[in-house]
Structures are given as structure tokens and as C-alpha cells.
Structure 1
Amino acid sequence: MARFGDALATGADLVSAAERAVLQALRPLDGDPDLICFFVCGADPEEVTLAGERVMAHAGEALSIGCSATGVIGGGRGVEGQGAVSVWAARLPDASLTPFRLDVLPEGDHLAVVGMSEPEPTDRVALLLANPYEFPAQSFVERSTDALGGLPVVGGLADGMRGQDSVRLFFEGGVADAGAIGVLLGGPGIVGTAVSQGCRPIGPAMAVTKAEGNMILELAGVSAYERLESLVNALPQEEQELAAVGLHIGIAMDEYADRHERGDFLVRSVVAADPEMGALTIGDMVEVGQTVRFQVRDQESASSDLLERLQSFDADAPGRTAAALLFSCNGRGAAMFDAPEHDVRSVQRTLGADAVGGFFAAGEIGPVAGRNHVHSFTACLLAFEG
């Protein structure tokens, strides 16, 4: 008998799929579950709600948490854009589970997030699911490292097949369409987190010598636009094409490293280039003195980066990974790879994890170099020991 189980069921009747998935996920457990995580993809928001309620009805005394999505992961598969339910169940008898629900309230001229539980010294990680249309996930996660005493946060941003009005969050028997939900996990049995950003660097690392907010004006004393233009012109044709369709930039997380290679950067998109100003606008704030390096992303880069991150994680892990929760970008799956199960099968094959559940997120949450961030086009992992 096992401590973990997972299952994925599809079908026109989403409630029936939920029933089949939860029963199959619970079947291998050697006792009652302590934690059930589940994810529902469906065209009808009301049917998604009923499917989530059906899973929670089988939770018993277990803590249940889940959300709607445009694709789900489980049973060694990934399913996108059609009715499907993924359920992941775990027996964690020696772990502590502290659920929390976050809401946003006006406070003066800004919004305040309320409901976060104070972490205990034994807490190892926070699992977070959020409605990105109704909750300031980016700012909350960016501040969470300091606010939670360095506690890693991992998870994803929910979505629905009909956009904003179809997002659902499932939490301890109830259903919400706003805010965020999560659980603090403490004690033994938690291996750790891993984040694959799926990019590879091009060109040299350069210092930011002039910047304003999220605009880079100068790199190594030269117009940022000119630096980019000369770099792209020197690339092989294939890499020029990659840069034209999806150029990114990596912000070094350790300024004192002797070298800055793949995995040393927080990757953000280049959202605009202004030749007149000589400026590049990126998807994050940047400061003078930081080191950056341009990045490209393609199927080969994303696949090799995930493999490298998983191998490094496995080598450093304190114990064998028996199960994992996986949050992959909704821009990965079949949009990036030959099949939507690329990420989950890579995790199973590399880590030897039997039970892997998760969903294709509208944004992924995970730590890079000790600080929590919301990402895009990444795969974020929370691993558990057998």
C-alpha cells in the first residue's frame, strides 16, 4: 500500500469524471488521506462547481483544496481544453497542515491582503492557488518571502475555459470565485521545490548602467536597444528567429557569482523595444548595477532545462521523491511540446515519482534563488518523500 495516489478522468459528464478520479486516487492509500488536491477543467462553470463539490464530498476528514483550470495533469497524462478532473491524494500523518484563505480589503489608498496564517518554525512550504483576475498575486508573492520569513511558496494561478467569470477555488468543502487559498505544510515528508524557467541564455551577461522602473535604458554604458540589435544581428539565423518571436531577459539573482549561466537568472519577458529612446521594457522592475542576460525559449531549451533542473533537484534532495504536485504554464503542454504530458512524464521518469498531479496554470508560483515569484512558461514542482 502507498501513501500517495493520483488519477485523471475525462468525459462529457464532468461530475461522473470527478467521482471516478477521486475514488481511483484514494484506492492505493494505506488509510484515510490527510490532503487532497484536485483540479477541474470544463466548459460549463456550474458543472465545474458540481465536479469540485463531488471530489470534496469524498474527502472525509482530509484537507481538500483545488481550483478550475484550462488543463489538468494526473495519472501520467496532461489533458487540455476538454472536460477532465485530476485528483492527487496523500497520507501525511507526521506533517502539519494549516489551511488559509486570503481576501483583499481596501485600506486607505491601497488594498490589503488578509487571512494569511503565521508560519510556525516547523513549516517547510506554502501551497497557494489564486484567482489572478480578483487577487493581486504578483505583488503578494513578491512580498511573501520577507513577510513569511523566507518560507518558499509554490502553486499556480487558476483559470477557466470561459475566462474570468469561470474561475473557481475549492477549499474545505466550500467554493469561491475570488481571492486565494492555500495551506502551510510542515514537518517531515516534504522534499522541496524546483522551478524550471525553460530558457537558455544568448550573448554575454551585462550590467545595467541606466534604468527607470521596468525600462532598461543602458547596458554596459551603451543604449540597451543598440546592445540588443547588435547581439541579435550576430546570432545564427535560427536563433534570430527565436528572438523575434519570444525574446526574454534574465535578471541575475546573485551579483557576486563568478559566472552567470542557465538557472542563475529570474527570467522575464521583453515586452517592448523603443529605438528612439534606446530603451527596452521588461516584465519586472530593474535597478542600476544588476546583471542581465538575454534569453530565448523553444521546445529544446524548455525540455533540456526541465531535465537539468530535475536532475539537480534529485541529486540534492534529502530523500527519494515519491510524489509531487506540478504546476505547468498553459503555454507549455501541446503548445510547446509534442504532447501535453511532456512535463509530468519528465518528472516521473527523472525523479521516479509515482503520483504526480497538478494543472496548466495561468501563472506559476515558485522560488528562484531563495525568493518567491510568479512566473510564466515555467514548470514549478513541490516534491514529497515516500
Structure 2
Amino acid sequence: MYFPFVLEGFEIVFYGLFYGVPLAYCALNLRYVKKIAVAVIGGGLRYVLYCYAALLAMSILVPIFHGTYDLSFFSEGVLSIVKESPRMIFLMVVFAKYISPKCDFILFARYFVWSMCCYVLGTCLFVLLPDLKAFWYGVVKDSEHSREVALQADYFTRYGWSGFSGFAHTFKCVLGIVLSCYFLSREVKRIGLKDFAAPLLLLLGTFFYGRIGMLVAVLVAIVFVFFVLLKKRPMLTTRLAVGVVVLCIVLVAGALTNEQIALWFDWAFAVLINFFSTGQLESASTKILFEDMLFIPPLDTWMIGDGRYSGDVGYYMNTDSGLMRPLLFGGILFCVLRYALLAFLVGYLWMSARKCKDRPALFCVALLCMAVLIFEIKGEVVFVAVTVLMPLAAMYSMQIRTTKDG
């Protein structure tokens, strides 16, 4: 349900499976849907809904005001949360009814991490079995642009069972790593090397799907090791470091002996390769980002936007930076509203963690904020973050209410 796919020629069947079935099931289990609604509306999460309603209205009114009638921000961004909601509510209902009547937030979060791990393993299969990937490419439905870029030689790892997998998938891998840091922090005295299997697999996923995710994942790992693991488990840290060094040696050896791995290696580590060869810590992608995609727009655009989100071909003004596209569309106040959507959600998690004196949770919320900030420089992740974090926050609220009710 986190990563749905549609097969060519069977669109109605799969849309019915991923939308019709969840809606019908929720309709038959309204008691649990009401429980979710009470947890959201009755707590601090209702402010997230207020922001979303305002953002939805503005995404329609702004292009009408400017006379551009460009509704792509509404259809591609805001509406994505509506599209994800039936499946997320369905998962919460099934979890609360059959798996954990006490609404165990940690177990629910683990399911997301495990589902992300399964997705990365699926990509591993496609990498190891090119014929399987070719077969799946021929039957799974994807956009024309995604199908084109999926065929590029240096993008051969950016593919999963839902089709081409890029920015959103690498961000979800990072979210999974942050959640894994939370699990590990809670039981740091009892963990062993086997407990790092999931975060290491998700780290591999960031190597597959996007370099920005790889950078953020490494930063998250360094912060976690320095502030948590090194202080409380120094010997385990040493063993883990040795394992990482061995893995790096294997990757370099693979790049030297296999042409396809070499292509991926050159793409994944382009920044480091360029640094050692030219002394400049950048890649072609980062150079374009900082020289062409990040700029100060005219004052009127800064204040009220241009009412455009997409250009005639590609992105409006040729920038896909998460800091720029909403600003160019609706101006600074629109940007503030968009970030408020996520800020209220993260704020709820932070305040709940403070009330419960859950220091690992506070630490990981800080990691999450760092990750979102860095990702937004490159592309948009606010709506992706909300679709994942909102069910987690709602489950946390349900757990608190269930515990109070006894």
C-alpha cells in the first residue's frame, strides 16, 4: 500500500484495488475511522488539517488571480495527500483492528521501515536480474518521462516495483533511517550488529534512488553515531565502522571490475570523484542547482508569486528546487503556509515527545527537521513527508488516547 503499482491494460482493476477496496473497507469499519478522526481532530493535529484546507484553496485561487489557470500545483502537489489518504487510513484501520488494538506507534512505524526495506530489496532483484527488470518495465504503468529516464545507463538502479524511483523514494529511505535511529536509541544498551540491517539496507536505497538522499543519510548516520552510539557503545561503533570500510572496499572493487557498477559508482559518487580530480566539491547537478536554480526573484514575484508552477516544457523558470517553486507560484506568504503544514505536524511530534520525556524521539525529530531542510534545497518533499508522518502522528495520538482510556 505504501508503494502501489498499476499494470498496463489492467488500470481499472488496480485502481479499484488500491482505492476502491480501502474506501469500501473503511466504510465497513467506521468505528475505527471515527477513532482516527477523533485522534486527529481532538489533538494538535487539527491545525495540520486547517493549513491543508487553506493551502488547497490557495492553490486554486492563486492561478485564477494571476489569470494563468495553472492548476499543476494543486494536481501534482496538494492533491497527492488526498490520493494517499484512503490507503493510509486503510492501513491504520487494519493495524488498529487486527494487529495492535492498543495502537502501538513504534510497531506501526516499524511496518513503514520494513515496507521500505522490501522495496529496496525489490530494486536489488532488478539490479541483479536485468531480464526481470526488463519484463517488469514492459508491464508496469509509468509516465512517459519516467520510462525514458529509467532507460539511462547511469540510472539503472533507480527502479522498483512501482516503476521509476527517484527523489520521493530516496527521501522515504531517509525517513526510514531516522525512524531506525529512534528504535536504536531506545534500546542502545541491548542492540547488536544485526539491528543495523534495516538502516544499512535503507542507506543502500539512498545510493540507488538519489544522491541528495545519500548525503542526508550519511549526515544522519554521523550525527547518530557521534551523539548516541559512540558515547554508549564504543566497541559496537568500532565493529560497525569496520563493516562499513569493508563494504566500501567491495563497492570500489565492483566498480573496477564491472562496467555497469562503474557507471552507477561514477554517478553516485560524482561529487567526491570531482573533488579528488579537480579540487572542487561539486557535481554537474549541484553546479546547476546553485548557479541556475536558486536565485532571488523580482519583488512582485517574491510578494505574490507568478501563479505558475509548471512551464510549457518542464518546471517553471527551469528550477525544481523546493525553496523556489512554491515561491514562484504563490509568493512568500504562500511558502509560509506550505511550510506551516509540516511545521504543525512536526511540532505535534515534538510536543508529544516532550510530554512523554522521550529524549530519543526529540533527537530524531531534530534529525527529521535537518533532513527536510536539506532536501528542500534540491526538490520538494513537504507533501511526501506529510503523507508518511501524518499516519504516524495520528497513530501516536491514538496510542496516547487508548492508554488513557485504559
TM-score clears 0.5: no
Task: Please identify which structure carries the higher helix content.
Answer: 2
Q: Rg: which structure is higher? A: 2
Bin for the TM-score computed over the shorter chain: under 0.3
Task: Please identify which structure carries the higher strand content.
Answer: 1
Greater length-normalized contact order (CA 8 Å, ≥ 6 residues apart): 2
Normalising by structure 1, we get a TM-score of 0.26
